[in-house]
A and B are shown apart, each in its own frame.
Chain A
Amino acid sequence: MSKDNKAQKYWRENLIYLAVLLAIWFTVSYVFGIFLVEPLNEVRIGGAKLGFWFAQQGSIYVFVLLIFAYVYLMNKLDKKYGYID
């Protein structure tokens, strides 16, 4: 595998991870917290309406998980392609 080829493959996998993670990012905040807030409010989580809860709590929890998922995936990817200092 040539050097450039390897770099390109690495970059492509990186972009796929980004696309997936950002799709989740968009879903929990914009879709659950804003666009679908009213239908989701019919469902309840504890004493809160679910749509409202996503806008003020849930999305933030998912955000934290997303960054750590990213760190984990990228470290694995670095190892696979041998990009370690």
Chain B
Amino acid sequence: MGLTFALYIGIAIWARAGSTSEFYVAGGGVPPIANGMATAADWMSAASFISMAGLISFMGYDGGVFLMGWTGGYVLLALTLAPYLRKFGKFTVPDFIGDRYYSNVARTVAVVCAIIVSFTYVAGQMRGVGLVFSRFLEVDINTGVYIGMAIVFFYAVLGGMKGITYTQVAQYCVLIFAFMVPAIFISMTMTGNPIPQMGFIGSMTDGSNMALLDKLDQLHRELGFAEYTSGTKSMIDVFAITFALMVGTAGLPHVIVRFFTVPDVKGARVSAGYALVFIAILYTTAPAIAAFARTNLIETVSNEQYADMPEWFNKWEQTGLIVFEDKNDDGRIQYVADEKTNELTIDRDIMVLANPEIADLPNWVIALVAAGGLAAALSTAAGLLLVISTSIARDLIKMQIKPDISEKGELLSARIGAVFAVMVAGYFGINPPGFVAAVVALAFGLAAASFFPAIILGIFDKRMNREGAISGMVVGITLMLYYMIKYKLQGFGGGTPDDWWFGISPEGFGTVAMLVNFVVSFTVSRVTAAPPQEVQDIVEDIRLPSGAGEAHAH
């Protein structure tokens, strides 16, 4: 694990940024395949690596919302946004919005949205870092977060985008290796097939010759849980959450900025393809891990003597992430759906980390998984911090407060911005708000509700103007924040799931807020003046692929 850190820092020094263009977008000269890997690492956060398989493990079919949502959003991004934004050739999303809507108000609204989205997201990453350190280095969780802050700080602040890109390539390799090794081992033992994706649809080797998923459904029925392959959410909610995650993904500022780092439009297209291949390897393995882990867990603990539990059980108990309460005093663990008789509570976040231990794999595999989890958390945190610092230095200071700032001064303020962002992220890591996990999902809703319509309409609707985009973004993000605060954080009088609008949960509400944003933008733009001719020319221009190189020079 120490080795992997030394590697990241070495790369950061080697690729130190010398100019603002290198700091923001690595000088626009990263080869598509490396950029694809970096995008994948950026994309796959601690949430993907540590939490997702665990969530699916507990949600069954409903967990598909994350799988389809996050990969499907990628398709949307690759087809409808990436090539055009690359052609546009500016550094950030607020840059695009500010220029396309010829307005500093629009730019500021976009900066504020970008910062809200990035901070909500980064808070979750820091929890991931703390979780891994506290369990595996057996240090205090705060010390863990300080170490994480120092490392992120070092390469994000010094290296900028160039450093981050190459570090993320290394991190992708670490994290995918760490994810696959235990999956292959476990798939081999449980189903006899070394490919987890095949093991997932294969049969058990325990002699029963039953399909793995049928076995799991059977176990669930016996314990009173909903069938693994059916889930419990309503269809409309599954639809809304998937859609919100998809468009939210496409609107995430730290992922969009990735497409500014390739040489041309063609590069942006193919780089998105590579990135999705790299992402898909993890995303198709995750549901397999989820099913294996779930089966293993139930078979290990259900109705067994508490005293016979293996070592991992006790270790996780000490962290408070597994809790056993012997309600009927029989010394056995009753793990059932009924709250009154259930004696075991398991934190969903531990499934991926504990999985190799549950399956009794060697220690080096377990350490590898920890290193992978950190790689995932750090790469995403670094990417987000960069977006925050760029937004502050470029979109606020250079574009609005002090336009005559020198290149050096701009680079310096970007770095100060990064320092500030690391501090705030560290604060969240040490004092995590109780609702971190939920807030990460909501970051997608916020991105969906604010950016996505403004960017899409900016490219595909020439008639879209300043007034429409600003009112859409403001209405969208306000509505989303209101719903989130009311039903998630119980503000404004709160409410229960019975009060949800159309039966849609706060996680899925981004879909509704986004539609409202579209309608508002469209209506307002049609009753106000058309955008000036030179802006319409910009739109014409970004629709054509050639000349992206020139557009980039500045």
A residues neighboring B (CB under 8 Å): 7, 10-11, 14, 18, 21-22, 25, 29-30, 33-35, 37, 41, 45-49, 52-53, 55-57, 59-61, 63-64, 66-68, 70-71, 74-75, 78, 83-85
Is B261 close to A, CB under 8 A?
no
Beyond the given A34-B235, A34-B242, A52-B213, could you list 15 further A-B residue pairs with CB under 8 A, ordered by the A residue number?
Answer: A21-B75, A22-B79, A29-B68, A37-B61, A48-B201, A48-B229, A56-B67, A57-B201, A60-B68, A60-B283, A63-B72, A66-B75, A70-B273, A83-B544, A85-B266
0 or 1 for each of B420-447: is its CB under 8 Å from A? (1 = yes) = 0000000000000000000000000000
CB distance from A44 to the nearest CB of B (A): 8
Q: How far is the CA of A56 from the CA of B68 in the complex (A)?
A: 7
B residues neighboring A (CB under 8 Å): 56, 61, 63-64, 67-68, 71-72, 74-76, 78-80, 83, 197-198, 200-203, 211-214, 229, 235, 238-239, 242-243, 264, 266, 269-270, 272-273, 276-277, 280, 283-284, 287, 540, 543-549
Interface centre among B64, B74, B212, B549 (most CB of A within 10 A): B64
Q: How far is the CA of A39 from the CA of B535 in the complex (A)?
A: 49
> A67–B79 contact, CB under 8 A?
yes
16 contacts between A and B (CB under 8 A): A7-B543, A21-B75, A22-B79, A25-B72, A25-B76, A30-B239, A30-B242, A34-B235, A56-B61, A56-B63, A63-B72, A63-B75, A67-B78, A74-B545, A78-B266, A83-B544
> B276–A63 contact, CB under 8 A?
yes
Residues on B with C-beta less than 8 A from A46 are 198, 201-202, 211
Q: How far is the CA of A55 from the CA of B203 in the complex (A)?
A: 20
Known contacts being A68-B273, A85-B548, is A29 close to B78, with CB within 8 Å? no
Residues on A with C-beta less than 8 A from B201 are 45-48, 53, 57
Q: How far is the CA of A74 from the CA of B72 in the complex (A)?
A: 20
Q: Quick one: closest A residue to B191, CB to CB?
A: A47
Residues on A with C-beta less than 8 A from B63 are 56
> A83–B546 contact, CB under 8 A?
yes
Residues on B with C-beta less than 8 A from A49 are 213, 229
Q: How far is the CA of A59 from the CA of B79 in the complex (A)?
A: 16
Known contacts being A47-B201, A48-B200, A57-B287, is A85 close to B71, with CB within 8 Å? no
> A85–B212 contact, CB under 8 A?
no
> B64–A56 contact, CB under 8 A?
yes
Q: How far is the CA of A63 from the CA of B63 in the complex (A)?
A: 18
B interface, by DSSP: helix, strand, loop or mixed? Answer: helix
> B229–A52 contact, CB under 8 A?
yes
Q: How far is the CA of A35 from the CA of B68 in the complex (A)?
A: 14
CB distance from A62 to the nearest CB of B (A): 9
> B547–A85 contact, CB under 8 A?
yes
Residues on A with C-beta less than 8 A from B243 are 30
Minimum-distance CB pairs A-B, first 7: A47-B211, A46-B201, A55-B64, A56-B287, A48-B201, A67-B273, A83-B546
Residues on B with C-beta less than 8 A from A14 are 543
Q: Quick one: closest B residue to A7, CB to CB?
A: B544
Q: How far is the CA of A21 from the CA of B212 in the complex (A)?
A: 34
Q: Quick one: closest A residue to B290, CB to CB?
A: A56
> A33–B543 contact, CB under 8 A?
no
CB distance from A7 to the nearest CB of B (A): 6
Select which of B197, B214, B276, B546 is within 8 A of A67 by beta carbon: B276
Known contacts being A30-B239, A78-B266, is A60 close to B284, with CB within 8 Å? yes
Interface centre among B63, B68, B546 (most CB of A within 10 A): B68
Q: How far is the CA of A71 from the CA of B227 in the complex (A)?
A: 40
Q: How far is the CA of A10 from the CA of B235 in the complex (A)?
A: 39
Residues on A with C-beta less than 8 A from B211 are 46-48
Residues on A with C-beta less than 8 A from B78 are 67, 70
Q: Quick one: closest B residue to A47, CB to CB?
A: B211
Q: How far is the CA of A67 from the CA of B239 in the complex (A)?
A: 22
CB distance from A84 to the nearest CB of B (A): 7
Interface centre among A41, A67, A84 (most CB of B within 10 A): A67
> B229–A33 contact, CB under 8 A?
no
Q: How far is the CA of A84 from the CA of B212 in the complex (A)?
A: 51
Select which of B72, B283, B548 is within 8 A of A29 by beta carbon: B72
> A70–B269 contact, CB under 8 A?
yes
Residues on A with C-beta less than 8 A from B269 are 70-71, 74-75
Residues on B with C-beta less than 8 A from A70 are 78-79, 269, 273
Residues on B with C-beta less than 8 A from A45 are 201
Q: How far is the CA of A60 from the CA of B485 in the complex (A)?
A: 33
Residues on A with C-beta less than 8 A from B197 are 57
Select which of A59, A67, A85 is within 8 A of B264 by beta carbon: A85
